[in-house]
Amino acid sequence: MDIHALQQIVHKTRDARRQQTISKFSPAERDQLIHKYHPDFRASAYRPIRFGPNEGDKTVVELATLLEGDSSIQDHADLTAHYTCDVLVIGGGGAGCAAALHAHGAGAKTILATKLRLGDSNSVMAQGGMQISVAPEDSPVTHFIDTLKGGHMENDHALLKTMVEDGPSIAKWLLELGVLFDRQADGNLHVKKGGGSSKPRLLTCSDYTGLEIMRVLKDEVINQKIQLLEFAAAIELLSDEVGNCTGAIFKDLDNQRHVVVAAKCVILATGGIGRLHIQGFPTSNHYGATGDGLCLSYRMGAKLAHIDTFQYHPSGAVYPEQLIGALVTEGIRSEGGHLVNAKGERFVNELDTRDVVSSSIIRECEEGRGIRTMSGRVGVWLDTPLLDAEHGPGTVEKHFPAMMLQFERFGIDISKDPVLIYPTLHYQNGGVKIDTNSETNVKNLFVAGEASGGLHGRNRLMGNSLLDLMVYGKRSGLTAAGRVGSMKQGQLTLKHLQRFRADAKTHGNVSGVISPMILPAYTRKVS
């Protein structure tokens, strides 16, 4: 059928739906729904990791294969350093920039290396906002409780307490750098309510929060003249005699040469794994989200946490074809947008946590109440015109300019017509286990941002990622910088890799897979 004919049911049922209140599920109902429909519970997609620090733990097959993968570096590779620094930051997104700025600010000689350009990351796409308890009726403790509930009570308490308490001072730092957070009439920060939160707590820069923060942080990294290595993909870490981290080897993607960097401390801020397309899901992630940091730190002996759980953002675009997997911001639901099935019915409280909402969408589709496309996809409607009906004409355009423009390019006016959505692979809830200084169990190896794990439990709340990046980027940068003054540069060896290879051999790992992946293989093989 013509898409406009299918959309009629959304228009027809709008007024009736506006009268309706849908209560949130009880804890028992939530658990039942998630266990039945959430992709984290699809047993066939998982297998145990065969060796290494997380031997026996289950994760998705795609990631397990890469974690067990071999390095492209030979045992006797030349390890003469091309660059030497105090703090080496790997990754140019939010966490990497925050780490580099703080390490540099504290006087450490800092290098920021990144696989693509400075700033190419998921951070730049964050639309929903950043959770910080600034409202008078809110508090860091309430932020803690909300996050804990969202994370199914499995969040690391110390990491979480640190994040919520550091939040307000992070907001101040960003404001001083010139980030333009939305304001109330009285000059105070405007806060919006996000899914799974009991109080309005989202700081926003219209629907460009991540872009605005990243424009400013990138500019500041350049202004501070921090040394950059762009198009440099980390392919192996370096360790000294006792296994402490001492640097990294990169592949220069312009000329394929290896570049060795000696560093007293290394901060990995390499982001998530969306581009592994686990379980065949489309993703909202950037081109370089291939989990490189997980593989590198795993070979160094760093323990991973919660790597069996991933976040599928409820609203990834399904139509048009060109936007598949792209995010339709949660902000639309925060402002009252309904999710509607093919029968014109709501089926979930739209502001429930992301895992619950995603599971309910998958349920509707699996039980035949979805809308299908001829490319074999299925989805439900997100009633965007409702926002104009509810808050006055022009609301969608004013509050969601990025979203409007993205769809307008393909001839779709989301203020007039609903959009078709289905969950998209969005975030890795777990990652490398860290302490409150962002350090791993490998000395002098820090991990910050999405690559780290423990903080978010089994489901990250909307808006907590941007804060995580800033808080742990800052902590890793400051801790590393505070340490390097009294340190000598350690030896550059591949002892950890020899150990890892011996371990792999014992377990008969001959998959031949080389990790990290660096970039997804999207180029069609033309014979």
Partner 1 sequence: MAQDDTNVIDQPEMTTPRMVTIEIAGKKVDVPEGITVVKAMWYAGMDVVRGVGCLGGFCGACATYYRTKDDPKVRTCLACQMAVQDGMSFTMMPPFPARKATYEIQKLKDPKQDLFNLYPEAPLCRNCNACTEACPQKIDVREGVWKAVFGDFKSVSEMFMDCVMCGMCTPVCIADIAPNLVALYVSRAQGAHFSEKPVGLDVRIKEIQDGQYNEEWDKVLKMSEKELAEHCATVK
Structure tokens at 76: 């006797």
Q: Which is nearer to partner 1, 263 or 378 (CB)?
A: 378
Per the annotation, the verdict on 313 as an active-site residue is yes
CA–CA gap between residue 122 and residue 126 (Å, rounded):
7
Closer residue to partner 1 (CB): 79 or 125: 125
**Residue 454 CB neighbours (<10 A):** 23
Q: 30, 143, 333, 475: which is the annotated catalytic residue?
A: 333
Query: Under 8 Å CB-to-CB from 61, ≥6 apart: which residues?
Result: 45, 46, 47, 278
Contact status, residue 189 vs residue 203, Cβ threshold 8 Å: yes
Distance from C-alpha of 424 to C-alpha of 524, rounded to nearest angstrom: 23
Nearer to partner 1, 162 or 246 (CB): 162
Nearer to partner 1, 334 or 406 (CB): 406
Separation between Cα atoms, residue 491 and residue 248, nearest integer Å: 12
By C-beta, is 141 or 513 nearer to partner 1?
141
How many C-beta neighbours within 10 Å does residue 436 have? 18
Closer residue to partner 1 in complex, CB, 171/266: 171
Please state, in angstroms and rounded to a whole number, the distance separating the CA atoms of residues 515 and 523. 18
Residue type, 429: N
Smallest gap from Cβ 302 to partner 1, in A, equals 27
User: How many CA atoms are closer than 13 Å to the CA of 406, on its beta-carbon side?
Assistant: 23
DSSP, collapsed to helix, strand or coil, labels residue 249 as strand
Q: How far apart are CA 87 and CA 484, in angstroms?
A: 8
Nearest distance from residue 253's CB to partner 1, in Å? 5
Shortest distance in whole angstroms from residue 141 CB to partner 1: 5
Beta strands in 177-318 (DSSP E): 191-192, 202-203, 227-229, 232-239, 245-252, 258-268, 304-305, 310-317
CB of residue 493 to partner 1, shortest distance in Å: 30
Nearest Cα residue to 106 out of 490, 483, 486: 483
Closest approach, Cβ 194 to partner 1, in A, equals: 15
Minimum distance from residue 284 beta carbon to partner 1 (Å): 7
Distance CA 101, CA 89 (A): 10
In the bound complex, what is the minimum distance in angstroms from residue 79's beta carbon to partner 1? 25
Q: How far apart are CA 150 and CA 74, in angstroms?
A: 44
Answer positive or negative: Cα dihedral of 415, 353, 290, 491.
positive
Q: Which two tokens stand for residue 156?
A: 């690391």
Structure tokens given for 396: 């969608």
Please report which helix (H) or strand (E) contains residue 203, including its range: strand 202-203
Q: Which of 313, 377, 460, 483 is catalytic?
A: 313
- Structural tokens at position 102: 């703080």
Of 178 and 393, nearer to partner 1 (C-beta) is 178
Distance, in Å, from the CA atom of 335 to the CA atom of 327, rounded to the nearest integer, reads 16
> Between 32 and 169, whose beta carbon lies closer to partner 1?
169
Nearest-approach distance from CB 164 to partner 1, in angstroms: 9
DSSP codes joined into one string, 92-113? -SHHHHHHHHHHHHTT--EEEE
The amino acid sitting at 494 is L
Least distance between partner 1 and beta carbon 165 (Å): 6
CB-nearer residue toward partner 1: 92 or 301: 92
- Tokens 């040394």: give the residue: 227
- CA dist list (Å): 480 to 85, 201, 250, 433: 12, 31, 21, 17
The set of catalytic residues is 313, 333
